């Protein structure tokens, strides 16, 4: 059997079955945005590889450095925790100029400064072909209050911290070489995402918030992880999903279905959580106060196992569910 048959999440499942993740000091091992230690510390790692996650383009390396750290911080945000430290590992091809690496480091440094976190170690090595950057972030849940993917209950509302589909639309603008005028927010969403740390912490303090994830691979896929962990389904109301004003005009120009960007576009790094209906406004207000002013309720958790989507009452077919490194279509049933 090859990797295409089992997909990224099938492989992770196999790895998780092969290794023990039981330890007296561990509350949660493989399967969430971070592992959680018994004392409330959380930890997460991510890997970025040239020609997979980014292209060799030194002019973009400052933002690449920022994004390499931001995507890790987003996993800390998804637990509702506060970031503290990080480790940085880089594998550098011999032909790389020191100046290019320095620009990446400046980008990582600027993001680290914004969130007040310290670099405490890492590893540096050569590489035969591509540049690789791996970052591990350690954070802490305030008063041990953290939110996992498991815990969504039928009747809960599904909420998100901001517009979806922006990053996918921004990437499309860059790839199609469109005039970027009016599309700056979309492009920035793709190149310079800001993790929702404050929003995550605010939500961790609300008892009625039951489950949370960050949207790195697309709404349907990432919400699917909550549903799988919680053994629930969801109904989404497409017209209530926040979308940036410029997304629809761009989709018309490029002739792309905007629903695909909104429902399955990756790399928005917004948070998605479920909350008991009586705390709907409490959760939205807490998140909006942190600057995420477009936070909205976008649906509700059901007793089923699937995601259904309606647009002004009409059923929408979710043609393709989300990003997967080995090309397998992920659905709530198989992820």
**Using the rule CB under 5 A, is 330 a contact of Mg ion?**
no
Minimum Å distance from CB 10 to ligand ADP?
12
Our CB check for Mg ion shows the closer of 214 and 267 to be: 214
Instruction: Name which of ligand ADP, Mg ion, none residue 102 binds, using a CB cut-off of 5 to 8 Å depending on partner kind.
Output: none
Per CB under 5 A, the list member of 50, 100, 156, 214 interacting with Mg ion is 214
Site stretch for Mg ion (CB under 5 A), options 23-31, 207-215, 232-240, 317-325: 207-215
Our CB check for ligand ADP shows the closer of 183 and 215 to be: 215
Strands of the sheet with 314-316, listed across from one edge:
209-214, 271-275, 157-160, 296-302, 233-237, 307-311, 314-316
Our CB check for ligand ADP shows the closer of 32 and 270 to be: 32
Our CB check for Mg ion shows the closer of 183 and 234 to be: 234
Binding site for ligand ADP (CB under 6 A): 12, 15, 30-33, 46, 75, 216
Minimum Å distance from CB 266 to ligand ADP?
9
Our CB check for ligand ADP shows the closer of 65 and 322 to be: 322
DSSP-assigned beta bridge partners for residue 303: none
Write out the DSSP string of 103-118.
HHHHHHHHHHHHTT-E
Residues 17-76 touching Mg ion, rule: CB under 5 A, are: 33, 75
Minimum Å distance from CB 276 to ligand ADP?
24
Q: Is 273 helix (H, G, I), strand (E, B) or coil?
A: strand
Share of the chain residues as helix, strand and coil, in percent rounded to the nearest 5: 40, 25, 40
Nearest Cα to 210, choosing from 191, 230, 190? 230
Minimum Å distance from CB 45 to Mg ion?
11
Site stretch for Mg ion (CB under 5 A), options 86-94, 208-216, 239-247, 309-317: 208-216
Whether 326 contacts 3, CB under 8 Å: yes
The encoded tokens of residue 171 equal 């990437």
Minimum Å distance from CB 285 to ligand ADP?
26
Residue number, nearest CB to Mg ion: 33
Residues 6+ apart with CB under 8 A from 134: 45, 46, 47, 48, 88, 89, 90
**CA distance linking residue 116 with residue 66, whole number of Å:** 14
DSSP state of 176: T
Our CB check for ligand ADP shows the closer of 75 and 156 to be: 75
DSSP state of 257: -
Minimum Å distance from CB 328 to ligand ADP?
13
**CA distance linking residue 146 with residue 280, whole number of Å:** 19
Minimum Å distance from CB 105 to ligand ADP?
23
Site stretch for Mg ion (CB under 5 A), options 89-97, 138-146, 151-159, 214-222: 214-222
Sign of the dihedral through C-alpha 262, 267, 269, 275: positive
**CA distance linking residue 154 with residue 288, whole number of Å:** 25
């Amino acid at each position: 059997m090859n990797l295409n048959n089992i997909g990224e999440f099938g492989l992770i499942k196999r790895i998780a079955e092969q290794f023990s993740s039981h330890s007296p000091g561990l509350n949660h091992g493989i399967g969430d945005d971070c592992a959680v230690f018994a004392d409330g510390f959380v930890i997460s790692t991510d890997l970025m590889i040239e020609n997979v996650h980014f292209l060799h383009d030194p002019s973009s390396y400052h933002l690449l450095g920022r994004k390499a750290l931001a995507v890790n911080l987003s996993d800390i945000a998804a637990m509702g925790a506060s970031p503290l430290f990080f480790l940085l590992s880089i594998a550098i091809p011999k032909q790389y100029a020191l100046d290019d690496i320095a620009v990446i480091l400046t980008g990582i440094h600027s993001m680290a400064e914004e969130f007040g976190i310290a670099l405490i170690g890492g590893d540096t090595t050569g590489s035969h072909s591509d540049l690789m950057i791996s970052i591990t972030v350690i954070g802490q849940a305030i008063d041990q209050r953290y939110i996992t993917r498991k815990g969504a209950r039928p009747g809960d509302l599904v909420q998100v911290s901001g517009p979806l589909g922006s990053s996918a639309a921004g990437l499309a603008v860059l790839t199609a070489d469109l005039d970027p005028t009016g599309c700056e927010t979309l492009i920035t969403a793709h190149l310079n995402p800001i993790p929702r740390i404050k929003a995550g912490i605010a939500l961790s303090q609300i008892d009625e918030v039951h489950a949370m994830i960050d949207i790195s691979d697309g709404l349907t896929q990432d919400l699917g992880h909550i549903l799988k962990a919680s053994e629930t389904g969801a109904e989404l109301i497409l017209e209530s999903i926040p979308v940036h004003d410029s997304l629809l005009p761009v989709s018309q120009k490029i002739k792309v279905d905007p629903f695909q960007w909104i429902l399955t576009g990756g790399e928005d790094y917004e948070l998605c959580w479920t909350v008991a209906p009586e705390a709907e406004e409490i959760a939205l207000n807490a998140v909006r106060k942190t600057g995420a002013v477009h936070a909205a309720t976008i649906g509700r958790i059901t007793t089923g196992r699937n995601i259904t989507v309606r647009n002004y009452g009409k059923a929408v077919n979710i043609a393709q569910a989300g990003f997967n490194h080995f090309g397998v279509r992920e659905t709530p049933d198989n992820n």
